[in-house]
Structure 1
Amino acid sequence: MMPEQLDRVARACEMANVRLAVVPWSVPLPVVPPHGFAVFDDEAVVVETFTAQMTITEPDAVATYVDAYARLEAVAVTGEEAAELLARIRRDFEELAH
């Protein structure tokens, strides 16, 4: 299943309205988020945990997530480099399956 999922994500790299950023596993993470989150226009953050989803709008809390996102984005690859990384990861999964 994983190779097909990676193909789908890689195809998103080709879309004009999508900017995909991938943090390579060879790069030390500047921050390790304990849960998923999405930043919306620096005014709101949606946080997703195993059991809940919440929207944060308090400016200092939003700023913490904006900073975390910026730090992750700074070490991520995009565009063709992201597509190449995803292709390499796909090949690694295929080799593990054999």
Structure 2
Amino acid sequence: MTRRTKIVCTIGPASDSEEMIRKLISAGMNVARVNFSHGTDEYHRTVIRRLKEIRKALDKPLAILQDLQGPKIRIGEIASGFVQLMPGQEFTLTADAHRV
């Protein structure tokens, strides 16, 4: 019978080593959770790269869950301070500062 539940482990400073990730996968981890509320972009890239390399080396299925902080606005400030929208007006909301 196939197990339908998943074992999710949060990967952080205490569990991000190759040795620990291998142990977690061997113990049954199906999903590696990376908490984007803490750490830098470079740290997250490194952890995700490591997870993918180990997943491939062990030939085991492993989902990577990228967890964001709850309701929080993740855009920069609007240069003019506000935008007044009119009916039918096109408006693009982007994280690309060069398109503003």
Question: Structures share a fold, TM > 0.5?
Answer: no
* Bigger relative contact order, structure 1 or 2 (CA pairs below 8 A, ≥6 apart): 1
Radius of gyration: which is bigger? 2
| TM-score of the superposed pair, with normalisation by structure 2 | 0.24
| TM-score of the superposed pair, with normalisation by structure 1 | 0.25
* Higher strand residue share: 1
* Higher helix residue share: 1
